[in-house]
Structure 1
Amino acid sequence: MNLIKGFPVEQPASDFYGLGIAPKLIETLTRLKFKTPTSIQHKVIPIALEGKDLIGIAQTGTGKTISFAVPTVQQLSIHKFRALVLVPTRELALQVEETFIKIASRFGIRTVSLIGGDPIRNQIRILQKLPRVLIATPGRLLDFLEQKKIRLHDIGILVLDEADRMLDMGFAPQIEEIFKNVNPDRQTMFFSATMPAAIMKMVAHYMKAPVCVEVAPSGTAAQHLTHELFIVRHEMKKDLLAKLLDRYRGPILLFCRTKRGASRISRDLRTFGHSCAEIHSDRSLAQRRASLEGFRLGKYRVLVATDIASRGIDVHGIELVINYDLPDAPENYVHRVGRTGRAGRAGHAISLATPDQKRDILNIEQMIRMVLPVSQHPDIPSASFEKHSATRSFQKRSLVRKRPNYPSRSRKGTNSF
């Protein structure tokens, strides 16, 4: 596998010229006010336009969608095949669909999202119009395959967006079944914030001499992000939250571990006098869309979410992410806090931990390769972990991590890059 780093990056392109993008697509990007490519776009677009398999390691908010949408649309305008984009959640599917529609509409390329929550008959009706771009969650697409409502033999480009999250959610069997139905002579692109072993296994099986484009070390958080850790007893978390909300004035994204917890915290926030909305699996698709749109428009100051439901939250200007409950897996910390500090803006991430969650914090620190600074609030009694020295020694170990050997499978006539 060839590795291309975006850090430290050579001087990035000041515009989209010189990346191999067709003039009509550059005009479209200009009309949509995309003037300067991000690091991931600068690196990925030329490689994708060559038809090579690739892995893009980048956080949310770095412009990943444009980096695969632009070369996909350009190739679809030339060739007769179709493209398939797999995403973990309905919200992300709709977000990706919106981007494709904006870019592909001038080329007469239709797009459809195949997701749960929408009537399946409506999606079947759109499929009959032969859309060229299919954006789907693995479960719904597999339903279509099993009912023989769709065929994937003509898929020439396959994209897995937020691949690590899809595997975290248990979609590996569905993804493997989908791969069996897709044309093997295709271009495959994986995009992920982290690179766990499960993805490396999939890379070895389904990709051909992929190029790995890494714009930040795998698993690290955004560069313009400050972290804070508060250690408090469980019964004090709600009081601390109330105090923290008074410190900030901008939009806040708050994470809970369960949907029940999200509902409970939303009720508490309203009691505190804060406007808030919730996104979790107990909310219908229409309710989740309304909550997200209300958050974007400023109707709600706080958006309370669970990890699964949060995928696809693409809102600019989030000032603060609060981990009211620590995530189940350290990789999810990276995904959560990646919702702030985007596109070079400053962002803040605050985590609330209880005294018995020392190991969870150590795992997060290993993942992001830094020690979370511990803060205290003067009005809230603080607690502590038993052995602070373990955290410090852990830092020394975690900062020295060997890069994994990326497996690859040879392709005839492969050009090195």
Structure 2
Amino acid sequence: MAMATNVRTDTQVPSSDGRVELQQESWDWRVAARRGDTDSATALAARARRIAWRLAHPDAWRAELEKCAHYDPAYVYDEAHEYDFDWTTDPDYPFDVHHNAYDQDGFVSPEHEWHLLLLARMFSALCALFDDIEVVRVLNEPDLYIPEALGKALGLRTAGGRPKEMVQPDVLVLPAGTRLPKARVLRIAEGDPVPELAVEIVSPTSQDRDFDDKLRLYAALGIREYLVCNAGSRPQGDDPGWAPDLRLFRQPRDGMYEQMDAPDPVRADDGDFLTIVVRSEVCGTELRLHQANPRTLPQFQWWDQRQGRWRDPEADARMEEGMDTAIAMLHRVLPDDAGPALRERIAERWRTEGPPEDVIDRLLDVQLAPSEWRSLLDISPDDESDSGDHGPNRTPGSLGMAGRDGT
């Protein structure tokens, strides 16, 4: 919260030729600077002075906080962060305000757009992976309360030295079959389940926190895996941006995680795409961060062994749209000797395992040569029986489906 109404003041200064000019004075340290307001050194110095003032005048600072409609006396406010009427720089603040962040030059800026978009993609992908339709196992930005003794032991404190009571992971995955009695609030010290997977999306300004404080916290809590993702940034002008990254930490022992070695990122010779793959035991499959080119947001995907393809909500939507078209065409082109039950078995197999990549070409061939429909669609005698086999046995990818290097 700003502790002053004036941002700048201007002073009249006579010039050498007698004209009066306005000279801008130093930035008001009581106001959090945004890029373009002043220089980096001034912004950093102003922030340090604001922190020092809060530490020296806790009652006055508390009075300023109480003016905010979102103020909660039970929350442990951190002197290192800003709390304004409708925004904050505290990444763990659980109330309905805009979240800004300090960049490396000391300026306040909106939370990185790619961070928010990738968070939405990762959350949706994990819900699909765990078939969490009710969203009770995969939690988006939940309140994770820290046991008091653990917070003190790990040295997780505010700038004023008070133990932190709560953090907000980007995503948590709970053990199968568990359901929180309180939506998106997790109190492990009171018997709530220990999550199996924690996910954080980092930025250049949050790396120290996510790779230090949260790494130690999640390991000490016994969270089985910790997935850290860097969304990267889009190149702008002479700024090449930074590349996406994906790291997995597993099986904490003695309060420390082991980082799982991922294969070197795969990048096209022309630099147009980047792929990083890690294998998660909690997810039971491989996870992939795939960027089509440096100017596009990375896609978070999971490998579906049964369908033999990388999946994400957008890819699923495209496949579903194509599936509807293929099944409608199937019913139109199959001859009469393919009865209703068989048609439904073929359609169900495609829905479950995915259709052949060249399904439209195959159906067009059936239209040209109806008598060859069995061979063209890989229909075996078992498919036509009532033995309970709801589709031919085939390995994912055998009908031309995308492999692990596909998109």
TM-score by length of 2: 0.24
Higher RCO (CA < 8 A, seq sep 6+)? 1
TM-score by length of 1: 0.24
Q: Write 1 or 2 for the structure with the bigger share of strand.
A: 2
Q: Write 1 or 2 for the structure with the bigger share of helix.
A: 1
